[in-house]
């Protein structure tokens, strides 16, 4: 027996808006990752790249 759909079914308009918001959130998260990486390098200095193997 198919599972009964009790939730809200989004309209096409809602799905479209959600997709654009999701893309924006993904871009912001990616920018934050890059930002924290760059700031880490700045705070630790170039020495972070120069370590004994």
Partner 1 sequence: MSLVERQDTIGQDSAVWDGGMGSVSDYVALLKPRVMSLVIFTAFVGLMLAPGSVHPVLGAVAILCIAIGAGASGALNMWYDADIDEVMLRTRKRPIPAGKITRDEALAFGITLSIGSVVTLGLLVNWFAGAFLAFTIFFYVIVYTMWLKRSTPQNIVIGGAAGAFPPMIGWAAVTGSVSLESFVLFGIIFMWTPPHFWALALVKNGDYTAAKVPMLPVVAGETSTRHHILAYAVLLAPVAIAPYLLGFASPVYGAASAVLSAIFVALSFDIWRKREGDAAKAACWRLFKFSIFYLFMLFALLLGESLVAGVLA
- Contact residues toward partner 1 (CB under 8 A) are 5-10, 13-15, 17-22, 24, 32, 35-36, 38-39, 42
Between 6 and 51, CB nearer to partner 1: 6
Q: Compute the distance between CA of residue 44 and CA of residue 12 in angstroms, rounded to an integer.
A: 48
> 15 is written with which tokens?
């799905």
Between 8 and 52, CB nearer to partner 1: 8
What is the torsional sign of CA 43, 49, 50, 52? positive
Tell me the closest approach of the beta carbon of residue 52 to partner 1, in angstroms.
Answer: 27
């Amino acid at each position: 027996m198919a599972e009964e759909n009790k939730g809200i079914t989004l309209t096409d308009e809602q799905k479209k808006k959600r997709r654009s918001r999701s893309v924006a959130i993904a871009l912001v998260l990616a920018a934050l990752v890059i930002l924290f990486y760059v700031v880490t390098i700045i705070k630790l200095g170039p020495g972070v790249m120069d370590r004994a193997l």
